[in-house]
Structure 1
Amino acid sequence: MKTKILLVDDHKILRDGIRSLVKGYDDIEVIGEAADGKTALQMVQELQPDLVVMDISMPDMNGIDATRKIRNKYPDIKVIALSMHHDKQFVSEIFRAGASGYLIKDSAFDELDHAIRVVMSGKTYINPQIASLVVESLVSQSSSTPPQSFALLTEREREVLQLISEGRSTKQIAFDLSVSSKTVESHRRQVMGKLNIRSVAELTKFAIREGLTSV
């Protein structure tokens, strides 16, 4: 049976490249594409892929939150992160969200092919370039280590932060998340308090630095 793959990345040229290369394999098939996390959730429900190749920094919903939602609802669907980020924070967060693999975007396609087969066999794959970062992170973690600012935010607070950083108004965010404007304002105050941030401009800088958005 073919492994059915959903490609999720906000750069069409990357999706086109992977799709073109996959055509050379008899046991792998790209069944759909999405340019953001929110669309990815809809397509996962509709297409039921075996595997999602997921970017991290995307508009509307980042890959970390999308991965968490997919894995919570569809635990049998595997996720491989394909990212430009080498920072151990992104690696740790995407694995905590439920990903089974992590590749850098400049990896050769042969490595992606290998990662797909490793992950579909039930194992975990990490790009050799960043494997040492993961080991270092795991070794240094302890119960006494204070959480990083990103980890202080709830999933809903990260969603609100991302949408604010993308220029959405309070009313637009309330509509997108199906909540009241007062609830959005409450989340915004909570985020700013937790991060010790006093302006929307600072919120946007934080969101970009943390990979919550690609703007």
Structure 2
Amino acid sequence: MAEDHQMLIDGIKSFFEYDDEINIIGTVNNGEELVKLVSLKQPKLVITDIRMPKMDGIEATKIIKQKHPEIKVLAMTMFDQPNAIKQMLDAGATGYILKNSGVKMLSKAIISVANGETFFDPNVAFNFMNSYVDENVTVGKSEKVVLSNREKEILQLIAKGKTSKQISEELFIAKTTVDTHRKNMIRKLNLNGVNELMKYAIDKKYNF
């Protein structure tokens, strides 16, 4: 996995730590290190961002597919522009997912691409994607959850590692109010406790 934001890597690794199907065997923060890691570890699938230091994900994907055509590549990025999608597909990627789509969709994307399917995030440019769709393409389903502006504000601070007390002081509200918002978000998002809420907040940090 290649991603230049270590916090996002840590959040994804934590989410998949006890997953029976997905095992993350290595992480790096730039394209050059990704190419080296792939040669060393020979993974079944590579997850890569597009914009990274030293070498971007497009160039890294080209090199990986030239040297190891059997390895699948899944792009995980903030870019939903048709040109970015086309460049990654031309480089050899068979999956494209946005960072703000959530780890559940990432899990589905990983399994689909690893099984030889092409996976598109439902939020990418559909007018571009439709020209590529065939019977082997999987399109993820959006899972819309409506959070209030205050809940989004608190979620952003949770992603920064702030405690309920720190959040209450920053937003000038009672700590009990923050705790209530936490409980409401856990219920709305169908999560299992505060640890999953933290993982969700980290995963969604690019959507704030």
- With the shorter chain as reference, the TM-score category is 0.5 to 0.7
Question: Are 1:90 and 2:84 counterparts?
Answer: yes
Residue 15 (structure 2) aligns with: 21
Question: Are 1:74 and 2:68 counterparts?
Answer: yes
User: Gaps (5+ residues) in structure 2?
Assistant: 133-208
Residue 30 (structure 2) aligns with: 36
TM-score (norm 1): 0.59
- Matched residues, percent identical? 38
Question: Are 1:8 and 2:2 counterparts?
Answer: yes
2:17, 2:92 → 1: CA distance?
28
2:128, 2:18 → 1: CA distance?
32
Residue 58 (structure 2) aligns with: 64
1:135, 1:21 → 2: CA distance?
29
Deviation at 1:117, TM superposition (A): 1.1
Residue 113 (structure 2) aligns with: 119
Deviations 1:150-201 (A, max 9, x none): xxxxxxxxxxxxxxxxxxxxxxxxxxxxxxxxxxxxxxxxxxxxxxxxxxxx
User: Gaps (5+ residues) in structure 1?
Assistant: 1-6, 139-215
Deviation at 1:135, TM superposition (A): 3.3
Which residue identity does 2:40 align to in structure 1? E
Which residue identity does 2:78 align to in structure 1? M
Deviation above 4 Å: which 4+ runs of structure 1? none
Which residue identity does 1:116 align to in structure 2? I
1:104, 1:12 → 2: CA distance?
17
- Number of positions where the alignment pairs a residue of Structure 1 with one of Structure 2: 133
| RMSD (CA atoms) | 1.6
Aligned match for 1:128, one of 122, 126, 135: 122
SS of corresponding position for 2:124 = helix
Deviation at 1:20, TM superposition (A): 0.5
1:135, 1:20 → 2: CA distance?
31
Aligned match for 2:46, one of 22, 36, 52: 52
1:120, 1:50 → 2: CA distance?
7
1:22, 1:58 → 2: CA distance?
23
